[in-house]
Amino acid sequence: MKNKLSRFAVPYEVWMAIFVVAPIVIMVVYAFSSADGGFTLDNFVQMGGYTEVFLRSFKLAIIATVICLLIGYPVSYLMSREGASFQRTAMVLIMLPMWMNFLLRTYSWMTILENNGLLNQLFQKIGLISLYNHIFGTNLEYFPMMNTQGAVVLGMVYNYLPFMILPIYSVIIKLDHSLLEAARDLGAGSLTVFRRVILPLSLPGVVSGITMVFVPSVSTFAISRMLGGGTELLLGNMPGSLGEVAALALLAGFAYLLWRRVIRWHVPVTVLATMAVFAFVYALGKGMTGAALWQLPLFHVLAGGAILGAVFMATDYSTSPMTVRGGVIFAAGIGVITMLIRLWGAYPEGMSFAILIMNACVPLINKYVKPKRFGVK
């Protein structure tokens, strides 16, 4: 029976080999090839000129991720301890800014932080700038906040904080309260219960939140361009992105996780296959012919954070369905929503949003797609 079921994996394996593995191999070959087709390492030598950009990107992304974690974990924990009415209200307030266009939200911070913006006008009215000039002997007319690394970090925290709160909250809210009661019955104090029970059990949500904040932060381009004022401030301002240039490493991680049986292949493969099929149908609808019919699906599978999200984010235990069939439905939804956002939305990348939206659908999927109890027809 198992051998018969394994036959259904053949189309996915062929698809992965042709549209994922083969293009990555081609990219590796080109990376070591010169213009005349010979072997060269010059392509890697040229990367040394971007060392400062790499270091700056990781530094700012780490700072933003740490700030989001320091804010997001207490908020998630406090939300989980309140009643259902408070939780719904807090969730609406957290998600409300995300209903607005990403660029518009970032642009609003420009009007707040610019030299004649709302903050500097407020500081002038309350005399804070005059007090600063008097204490430090300066002659400032305003506090320079735009085009600084601090403004970039602020933009990252503002835009990506919900991605930290939601995964942590979804894990903490599902904790078995009997474990907490048992710890208290054994004499553990509140701090001990949190350190020995709540924190270890919430680590999957913390890891998901860190991933969902750090990855877009290290490769963002709109925030650094609008608030940082630089054309080469972060990796996102350079050609390519982390999900594209590290695709081979991501696939190696995928193979390792499969080998250790940490994850199953159904969710990542279904996400990428759905995106490719969607792009192929879109290309047909647009009247594309020839090479464009396979180039567009290949582009969407390899571009942005598709592989990263499909392999390392969508497979999170705490926020994905319990069954294989539920996982396939979950993954197909991620692929469809990602393509809808990419093709018709205001965002160039939709993987994180798609995963968050389908995470909210997991309880519904588990309700209707679950294994039958033994002895129940």
Classify residue 125 as exposed, middle or buried by CB count within 10 Å of its CB (0-12, 13-18, 19+): exposed
How many CB atoms neighbour CB 57 within 10 A? 23
Q: Mean pLDDT, the chain, as a whole number?
A: 80
**For the chain, what is the total number of helices (H) and then of strands (E)?**
21, 0
Phi and psi (nearest 5°) for 100?
A: -95, 150
What span, in angstroms and rounded, lies between the C-alpha atoms of 45 and 55?
17
Task: Between 221 and 248, name the one with better pLDDT.
Answer: 221
Question: Side chain identity at 284, as an amino acid letter?
Answer: L
Between 272 and 45, name the one with better pLDDT.
272
Q: Which amino acid is at 303?
A: A
Alpha carbon distance 75, 266 (integer Å): 33
d(CA 110, CA 264): 44
CB 232 within 8 A of CB 53: yes
Q: Is the pLDDT of residue 216 over 70?
A: yes
Confidence grade of residue 7 (pLDDT, cut at 50, 70, 90)? low
Three-class SS string for 62-125?
HHHHHHHHHHHHHHHHHHHHCCHHHHHHHHHHHHHHHHCCHHHHHHHHHHHHCCCCHHHHHHHH
pLDDT confidence of 220, banded at 50, 70, 90?
confident
pLDDT value, residue 52: 77
Q: Which of 10-14, 164-168, 298-302 has the lowest mean pLDDT?
A: 10-14
pLDDT at site 239: 55
Mean pLDDT, range 9-35, rounded to an integer = 74
Residues 175-185 have a mean pLDDT of 77
Q: What is the pLDDT of residue 329?
A: 92
**Would the pLDDT of 274 be above 80?**
yes
Give the mean pLDDT of 257-271. 85
Over range 4-11, report the average pLDDT.
66
Tokens of 146: 């735009």
Least confident of 43-52, 267-276, 301-310: 43-52
Least confident range of 165-174, 196-205, 255-264: 255-264
3-state SS class at 39: strand
DSSP character for 286? Answer: T
Adjacent-strand bridge partners of 39: 33
Q: Where are the domains of the chain?
A: 53-239, 244-371
Decide which of 240 and 123 is more confident. Answer: 123
What pLDDT, in 10s, does the model give residues 119-148? Answer: 888 888 888 888 888 888 888 888 888 888
The answer to whether the CB of 331 falls within 8 A of the CB of 267 is yes
As a whole-number percent, the residues of the chain with pLDDT over 90 amount to 10
* Dihedrals phi, psi of 360, to nearest 5 degrees: -70, -20
Give pLDDT tens digits for 106-123: 778 888 888 888 888 888
Nearest C-alpha neighbor of 57 from the set 187, 200, 230, 256: 230
Asked if residues 305 and 352 have their Cβ atoms less than 8 Å apart, the reply is yes
Contact 172, 77 (CB under 8 A): yes
Question: Average pLDDT for residues 293-309, to the nearest whole number?
Answer: 81
pLDDT of res. 197 = 81
Q: In which residue are the tokens 């709160």 written?
A: 165
The single residue listed with the structure tokens 């294994």 is 371
The topology under which CATH files domain 53-239 is: MetI-like fold (1.10.3720)
Predicted local confidence at residue 248, as pLDDT: 64
Query: pLDDT tens digits for 342-352?
Result: 888 766 677 87
pLDDT value, residue 270: 93
pLDDT the model gives residue 273 = 92
pLDDT at 249: 65
Full-prediction pTM beyond 0.75? no
Q: How many residues does the chain have?
A: 377
Confidence at residue 31, expressed as pLDDT on a 0 to 100 scale:
73
> Which residue is associated with the tokens 């207490």?
74
